[in-house]
Structure 1
Amino acid sequence: MATVDAKIYVHHYKNDGTCNVKIRIYHKNQYRFIDTPHYLCDKQLKKHPENKGEFLIKDHFIKNLVNTELDQCRLAISNLGFKLKLFSPDDLKSFLMQSDESIDFIQFCEEFISDLKELGRHKSAANFNTIKNSLVDFFRRKKVFMDEINVDTLSDWERYLRKERTMTRSNQFNRPITTVQKPLTNASIHNYMRDLRSLFNHARRKFNRKSLGVVKIEHYPFDEYKIVEAPQTKKRNTDVKTLKSIRDCEPAVSSRSELARDLFMLSFYMCGINAVDLYQIDESNIINGRLEYNRSKTRDKRKDNAFISIKIVKEAKPLLKKYIGNLSQRYTNIGGLNKALSRGMKEVCKLISVNGLTYYWARHTVGNLARNKCRMSKDDVALALNHVDHGRKTTDIYVDKDWSIVDELQEKVTKLLNQVEVDN
């Protein structure tokens, strides 16, 4: 049986002359401690008659508050019944700390986003931060409890997102900047709701411990609320003549358009490598004339850590040498690089008189040309683009990846670009 009592230790005396009252938990021959909000000064304490290292509470008001909290802990433990034996000392401490607390969803989001940033997942952190900020705008407060995220809220939030909205954010100098946001499209609504659902699921995984019979978040509004379907993605690939125009255009030296042109072509030569991976790689990723790395977008979701090995073809060598290891010094985070690429590609589009091309078109173009012009199989295209094939997971256990297939696809696609010069 687990027990709880109040403890005030002499060695916990603070510089301001106060001591914190702690709840001590004894379970499975181990102690755990929970800080309380009660800090007592000398006149509220008296020496323990038997233990010189402890104080006792003299203040009757505080003593009654602490006794009430202890009774609540004992009741929570008693209600666990036989499940108590499943709890480790840490589990029990966590359970008692959360048993009477309403979960602040915004606080959870902030902690979760902070963890993502520490893991280097800045793109995901930025997406989730957008959702958190939107909820704060919608509720007009910075504390939103889990039970407030319900079916009615989701419907109201969707209507809110479909209207013009005014929002205030701090700029890089921590000054408030107010902007007017246009109504979101179906595609954006889908993404917002998808990301909110993901945050909600992460919260359920953190606070619900079904194996221990602890379910802090019982409701799940996404069972009833139907997220609007995302419209079919517009094809984002271009032809080889446009590729040649991008490669041969002459933007200003050291400009964002030069950066965009170079990285677009580097992505094309290197089988559609993502900008975040170009941002993260360095010289250590070059092994025997190949670029070997784990794709950032999916490395935490795959057993092979999304590893891929790409041959550094001659066209890519000067570009890779120019930018490898430099992008992370030039930009504080991937968000800064993405903004520069976005603006740079708009300038490139003006130079070659086309509209709408973005950096990501390079990746789509590799796949499209490999399949439709070079007649490579879809499996080979998926391998080169480092996609996971959910339908062939079992087969992948038996079959090693053959990077020469990727080399063949890379060579054929690159030759298409060179062939245009011959034809012309």
Structure 2
Amino acid sequence: MATLKLAVTPDKVAKDGSHKIRIALGHKSVTRYIVTRFKIDHLSQFKNGQIVKRPDAAIINTKLRNLLNEYQEKLDSIRCIQMYDCRQLREILINSTTAGHTAATFQAVAGSYITELIEDGRGNYAKLLERNCRYFTEFTKGEFLLSDITPEIIHNYARFLRNTKRVGETTIGMMMSRTRTIINRGVKKQLVKYDVSPFAYYSIKSSPVREVDITIENLLKIKNHLPKEKKLRVARDLFMLSFYLGGINLADLLDVDFRKTDKIEYIRKKARNLKLGEQRIIITIHEDARPIINDWMNRNTGKLDFGYKFTYSNFYRYLTRSLNTLAEELKINQKVVYYSARKTFAQFASELGIPDGVIDYCLGHSDKSKGIIRYYTKVRQKQAEIAINRVIDYVNNPDKYKDYIEMRADVMMMKG
């Protein structure tokens, strides 16, 4: 069990002959010291853990007792002290009690970032980080210093997820990626430095591509269907609206003010605060999208209003179930989720030969293309309008593009 007490080390003498009062931390038969700002002129002024033979002794003893209580409170909050040696405990105590300084533990950095994400409206990602933080804390049996995370710790955490939590390889990859996010955040905030990166010898497996795009035949089934049941109307209309607006995500779609007559303008919630220059997306509203918007738009707020008071998470689940029912009713033999609209738009655009940079702009991805043109928003906006019009025209007139798509597929095969 770790202990704290006030102490003076006789061999540590300042040039003027004074001695600093220290807090002695004892743990696993080892003692480490935390230096305080208080000092005595000679050893006779310190007896049985207190200042004596000084006119200000009572005041200093009170301040020292308060400081000792502060450290004791932090020590008591560490749930599994046996995970640490005496040096590690000392670092946690120092980092967590310095005014204005965040404790350089994995849990503290994760908690700070999670709070920031929630304040920025990115609650879903915050929940994912919180889940990983719980798993990592279960693995380490309590708070764990960032400075003590080594490649071996990372390797053992992956084994813990696989053998103890029994999660799949895809989930392991996601958890390890979130672990790296917290570690990188600690590095960027200069809370920790590594001679060898914890991930130096661990490769995070890429998540498999979600094959949820649908064929043009199945998209036409959804487009041409006019269900009477409200939940199916909501599902059909949101799906098609995402497709018509370049694959916009649901969180962004529900936040759009549609009172502007000809276009929408937004920054993806997922990407907010991640880049120095936030990428604003401007999409011209296609005439096929306007009737859907008019049916559901709240005239006061300009946002889509379906008459439900669900939380976003509950509404997303409601939409997912409704889309599943719609697909069954239409006898669609492919998986259909809201994300299918986004994937299908991207797939059709690619088949039509639309440049990747333009597709990325429509989807709100960072533009990896070269050249100064990527900085001209008006150029990208016009290109996006042309791309969306072409994709929708392809859906409305598939035979018009059949020969071109087949020819382009043959050319791509020959290049491969």
TM-score w.r.t. the length of structure 1 is 0.64
Tell me, what secondary structure is at the counterpart of 1:314? coil
Match of 2:230 in 1: 254
Shift of 1:413: 1.4
SS in 2 for 1:392: coil
**SS of residue paired to 1:162:** helix
Secondary structure of the residue aligned to 2:379 is coil
- Of 178, 184, 187, 2:168 maps to 184
**SS of alignment partner, residue 401 of structure 1:** helix
Conserved 8 A contact 2:213-2:340: yes
Q: Distance in 2 between matches of 1:145 and 1:295?
A: 33
Quote the Cα distance in structure 2 between the aligned partners of 1:279 and 1:361. 17
- Could you tell me which residue of structure 1 aligns to residue 325 of structure 2? 347
SS of equivalent to 1:338: helix
Structure 1, unaligned runs of 5 or more: 1-22, 25-48, 50-55, 70-92, 166-181, 209-215
Matching residue of 1:416:
394
**Cα–Cα, structure 1 residues 380 and 398, in superposed 2: closer, same or farther, change >3 Å?**
closer
Question: In the alignment, what sits opposite 2:184?
Answer: 201
Cross-structure match for 2:218: 242
**Aligned counterpart, 2:286:** 313
The whole-number CA distance in structure 1 between the counterparts of 2:187 and 2:359 is: 37
Tell me which residue corresponds to 2:345.
Answer: 366
Structure 2 matches for 1:145-224, cutoff 5 A? 145-163=145-163, 165=165, 183-185=167-169, 187-208=170-191, 216-218=192-194, 221-224=197-200
Which of 290, 297, 311 pairs up with 2:270? 297
Separation in 2 of the partners of 1:99 and 1:366? 48
1:163 deviates by 3.8
Q: 1:320 to 1:304 in 2, by over 3 A?
A: farther
Letter of the 2:251 counterpart: V
User: Are residues 1:271 and 2:246 paired?
Assistant: yes
Counterpart amino acid of residue 289 in structure 1: D
2: CA distance between counterparts of 1:381 and 1:101? 41
Q: Which amino acid aligns with 2:162?
A: R
Are the aligned partners of 1:292 and 1:309 in contact in 2 as well (CA < 8 Å)?
Answer: yes
Question: Which consecutive residues of structure 2, in runs of 5 or more, have no partner in the other structure?
Answer: 1-35, 38-54, 70-93, 402-416
Tell me which amino acid in the other structure corresponds to 1:273: I
State the Cα distance separating 1:367 from its structure 2 match.
1.7
Give the SS at the match of 2:98.
Answer: helix
Cα distance in structure 2, aligned partners of 1:130 and 1:280: 26
CA distance in 2 between partners of 1:380 and 1:99 (Å): 45
Q: Does residue 338 in structure 1 map to residue 352 in structure 2?
A: no
Distance 1:132 1:306, change over 3 A: same
Distance 1:110-1:94 versus aligned 2 partners, 3 A rule: closer
Checking the alignment, whether the CA contact within 8 Å between 2:155 and 2:202 is kept in structure 1 is no
Cα RMSD, aligned residues only: 3.9
Tell me, in whole angstroms, the C-alpha distance in 2 between the residues paired with 1:192 and 1:327.
Answer: 35
The aligned counterpart of 1:17 is: none
Amino acid at match of 2:167: P
| CA deviation string 1:188-219 (max 9, x = no partner) | 222211111011111222343xxxxxxx4446
| Offset, 1:113 | 0.4
User: Which amino acid in structure 2 is aligned with residue 183 of structure 1?
Assistant: V
User: Superposed, which structure 2 residues align to 1:75-114 within 5 Å?
Assistant: 97=98, 103-114=104-115
Distance 1:184 1:412 in 2: 40
- 1:359-398 superposed matches below 5 A: 359-372=338-351, 374-392=352-370, 394-397=372-375
Q: How far has the Cα of 1:416 moved from its partner?
A: 2.4
2:130 aligned partner:
129
Distance (Å, rounded) in 2 between the aligned partners of 1:251 and 1:137: 48
Structure 1's 68 and 139: CA in aligned 2 closer, same or farther, altered over 3 A?
closer
Q: Report the CA distance between 1:242 and its aligned residue.
A: 0.5
Cα deviation, 1:174-197, whole Å, max 9, x if unaligned, reads xxxxxxxx5212x32222111110
Cα distance change of structure 1 residues 393 and 192 upon mapping to structure 2, 3 Å threshold: farther
Supply the AA of the counterpart residue of 2:250: A
Residues 1:298 and 1:100: Cα distance change in structure 2 (over 3 Å): closer
Q: Distance in 1 between matches of 2:329 and 2:312?
A: 25
* Secondary structure at 1:360 match in 2: helix
Richer in strand (by share) = 1
Q: Deviations over 1:217-249 (max 9, x none)?
A: 446543433123215414432221101222344
Aligned residue in 2 for 1:30: none
Whether contact under 8 Å (1:269, 1:414) holds in the other structure is yes
Using the TM superposition, give the Cα deviation of residue 296 of structure 1 relative to its aligned residue in structure 2, in angstroms: 2.2
Deviation per residue, 1:276-325 (Å, 9 max, x gap): 10122224xx4341112222233434455221221222221232231552
**Counterpart-to-counterpart distance in 1, 2:369 and 2:197:** 30
Task: Tell me if the contact between 1:240 and 1:416 (Cα under 8 Å) persists in the aligned partners.
Answer: no
User: Deviations for 1:362-411, whole angstroms, at most 9, x for unmatched residues?
Assistant: 11211211221x33333332333333323426443468524332222222
Instruction: Report the counterpart of residue 116 of structure 2 in structure 1.
Output: 115
**How big is the shift at 1:327?**
5.6
Instruction: For 1:382 and 1:116, locate their aligned partners in 2 and report how far apart those are by CA, in whole Å.
Output: 24
Change (3 A) 1:379 1:111: closer
Aligned residue type for 1:103: A
Shift in CA distance, 241/224, structure 1 to aligned 2, threshold 3 Å? same
